[in-house]
Amino acid sequence: MTIYALSSAPGRAGIAVIRISGRASRKTLYALCNGRLPAPRVSSFRRLRHPTSREMLDEAMVLWLPGPANFTGEDMAELYVHGGRAVVTAVMNALADVGLRLAEPGEFTRRAFGNGKLDLTEAEGLADLINADTEIQRRQALAQHSGAMRARYEKWRRTLLKAMAYVEASLDFSDEADIADGAFKEAVPEARLLAAELERALADGRRGEILREGISVAIVGEPNVGKSSLLNALAGREAAIVYDEPGTTRDVIEVSLDLDGYPFVLRDTAGIREAASPVEQEGVRRALAAAEAADVVLAMVDGSCGDAGALPAEGEAGGTPSGEGIAAAVTSSSGVKLIVVNKVDLAPPPAPGSFGPEAIYISAKTCLGLDALKAALVRFASESYGSGEAPTITRVRHRQEIGRARAALVAFLDGAEAGEAPELAAEHLREAADALGRLTGRLDVEDVLGQIFGEFCVGK
C-alpha cells in the first residue's frame, strides 16, 4: 500500500516536507499537480490541487523520485509545502481521500531495509543520527549509518564462512579420512581467530552504548554540600531546588549536558547521612545506587571548613557516618572518581593536598573552578570513549548476538579438541553464523524489527 507522512518536524515552520512512497506515488503526484508530472529528480514548482475536488491546496516545490534509485527503493514523491498547520492538514487529508495510508513510525526506513537499500545496523545508525544531541553522538551515528559496522560484521562473517566451508568439506569427503581430517583441522585456526576478535570487541568497556545513551555522572555528598547548586551551575538553569534545609533533594534529578561534544547525564542525589524518615532513607538508597551505576562519581565535600570535610581514605576508619557512607559509595562504583571541593569562596584556600592530589576546587555559587571541572570530565570522556568515529558496539542487541556467536565458536573449538563428530561441530558454526546474520538482518529477524523501527519518527 502507498503510504504518506509528514517528514519534517510538526508545528509551524517556513516549509513542511510530506513524503509519499509506494506504487500509487506517480498517480497521486500526477493528480496533485493537475496532470503536470515533474521530471524525475528535478525540484519543480507546482500548484497543488485536491485530486478529486480540484480545490487548490497550496503552491509547493515537488520532487518525483521513481524507484529503485531512492531511499525506500519504491516509487516516491516529496512535497515541500508551506509549513502552516492548516496547509499541512489539507494536503495530508487529500492524500488520505485518495486511499493512501498514514505511515507507521519508521515505516519508510523499514521499506528501505526490506528492499535491500540498507541493513539493520545502518537503519539503527540512521535512528541514532536523528536522535543525536551532541557532536560525538552525531559522529558515531554517522559512522554506523555509513556502513562502518556492516563492514566489520561482514569481515567476521567471511571468516566464519571460511571455517564452515572447511567443516562442510570434511563432511563431503567423510569416506576419505585424510582429506576429511585435513579439511576439518583447517577450520580450527579460522574459528579461533574469529573467537578472539569477538572477545576483543566485547571487551570495549561499552563505550559505544555509553556514548549513545550519555555518560552517567552521579553527584554525591552530605546534605547541603552544594550538589543541587552544582547541577544547576553546570546545566545553566534552575533544574533542582536549592534550599538551606537538609534533605531537600529526595529523588534523583537528571539533566543532560553537552560538554565539548560529549553527552553527559548528570544525576543530583539525596544527601548521604543517617536518615531519620523512611522517605529520606529511600532517597539515600537511591543516591548510593546511582553512584554504584555511574560512569563518573563526583564526590562533593565542603571546603569552607578546611580539611575537616575530607573523606576518609579507602579502608580507613573514622570520620562522620555520612562521610564514611560517601566514601563507601565512591568505592563501590566501578566508574572514575573525582573529589570536588565546594564553597572555596567562603574560606581561605585549603592546604595543598588536603583533599587529595587530584581534587578540583570550585564554588558552585560563583562558578569558580567550573571550567576545570568540565575540562576534567571532557578529558575522562576523550580518554575512555574516543571520538566516536571508530566502529563500536552501540546496542545491547549487538552485544548479545556477538556474545552468542562467540559462545558457539568456543563450543566448536572445545568440541574439536575433544574429538567431537564433524556433524555436531558444524552445528556450532551454524549457530555462530545465525547470530552474526541477525546483526545485519541477513536472517529472519522479524522479532526485532518492530523494536528497531519503532524508534523512528513517523515520517522516517
**Position 132 pLDDT exceeds 90:** yes
Q: Is the pLDDT of residue 352 over 50?
A: yes
Residue 455: C-alpha distances to residues 114, 395, 400 (Å): 17, 13, 19
The answer to whether residues 227 and 359 belong to one domain is yes
Contact 171, 422 (CB under 8 A): yes
User: What is the average pLDDT score of the chain?
Assistant: 85
Residue 120 lies in a domain: no
Are 87 and 185 found together in one domain? no
Q: How many domains does the chain have?
A: 3
N- to C-terminal Cα separation, the chain = 16
Give CA–CA dist 153/156, Å, rounded: 5
Is 442 assigned a ligand-binding role in the annotation?
A: no
Residue-level length of the chain:
460
- Tell if the pTM clears 0.75, that is, is over it: yes
Whether residues 249 and 156 share a domain: the answer is no
Are 32 and 171 part of one and the same domain? Answer: no
> How much of the chain, in percent, has pLDDT values that exceed 90?
57
| pLDDT recorded at residue 327 | 62
pLDDT in tens, 43-85: 999 999 999 999 999 999 999 999 999 999 999 999 999 999 9
Check the annotation: does 304 bind a ligand: no
> Do 74 and 216 fall within a single domain?
no
**Contact present, 402 and 198 (Cβ < 8 Å):** yes
Residue 366, pLDDT score: 92
pLDDT digits (tens, 9 = 90+) for 257-276: 999 999 999 999 887 766 66
- Domain limit, last residue, from 350, 385, 420: 385
Do both 250 and 342 map to the same domain? yes
**266 and 348, same domain (yes or no):** yes
Q: Residue 182: inside a domain, yes or no?
A: yes
Is 460 labelled as part of a ligand binding site? Answer: yes
Q: Is 256 annotated as a binding residue?
A: no
Task: Tell whether the model's pLDDT for residue 459 goes beyond 80.
Answer: no
pLDDT per position as a tens digit, 155-173 = 999 899 888 888 877 776 5
Q: Is residue 122 part of a domain?
A: no
Tell me the percentage of the chain whose pLDDT exceeds 70: 82
Residues spanned by the domain of 82: 3-103
Statement to judge: residues 304 and 441 lie in one domain: no
| pLDDT at residue 291 tops 90 | no
Please indicate if the annotation marks 303 as binding a ligand: no
Q: What is the DSSP string of 323-365?
A: HHHHHHHHHH-SSEEEEEEE-GGGSSPPPTTTT-TT-EE-BTT
Say whether 133 counts as a known binding-site residue.
Answer: no
226 is known to lie in a ligand binding site: yes
Is residue 117 part of an annotated ligand binding site? yes
pLDDT attached to residue 408: 96
Same domain, 229 and 360: yes
Whether residue 390 is contained in a domain is answered as no
What Cα–Cα distance (Å) separates residue 73 from each residue in 66, 70, 109? 8, 5, 10
pLDDT digits (tens, 9 = 90+) for 1-21: 999 999 998 989 999 999 999
**Given this model, what pLDDT does residue 450 score?**
54
Furthest CA-CA distance within the chain: 88
Q: Report the alpha-carbon distance of residue 373 to residue 284 in Å, rounded.
A: 25
78 is in an annotated binding site: yes
Q: Would the annotation count 19 as a binding residue?
A: yes
Per-residue pLDDT, averaged over 102-116, amounts to: 94
Say yes or no: 372 and 401 in one domain. no
Task: Confirm or deny that 270 is annotated as ligand binding.
Answer: yes
Are the C-beta atoms of residues 64 and 38 closer than 8 Å to each other?
A: yes
Q: Using one digit for the tens of pLDDT, what is the confidence trace for 169-212?
A: 777 655 554 445 666 778 889 999 999 999 999 999 899 999 99
Binned at pLDDT 50, 70 and 90, residue 244 comes out as: low
Q: Is 116 annotated as a binding residue?
A: no
Cis peptide before 68 (omega within 30 of 0): yes
Q: What is the pLDDT of residue 200?
A: 95
Q: CATH number for the domain including 153? A: 1.20.120.430
CA dist list (Å): 197 to 212, 270, 312, 405:
23, 43, 42, 11
Count CB atoms within 10 A of the CB of residue 340.
27
User: Residue 160 CB: number of other CB atoms within 10 A?
Assistant: 25
Domain assignment of residue 110, yes or no: no
Same domain for 236 and 348, yes or no, is: yes
187: in domain: yes
pLDDT at 111: 96
Report if residue 125 sits inside a domain.
Answer: no
CATH (domain of 7)? 3.30.1360.120
Instruction: Tell whether 33 and 92 lie within a shared domain.
Output: yes
| Domain termination residue (choose one: 86, 103, 120) | 103
**Does the annotation flag 99 for ligand binding?**
no
Question: Domain boundary at 354, 385, 416, which?
Answer: 385
**Mean predicted confidence (pLDDT) in 334-348:** 86
Report whether 229 belongs to an annotated binding site.
Answer: yes
Residue 224 among known ligand-binding residues: yes
CATH code (residue 234): 3.40.50.300
222: in domain:
yes
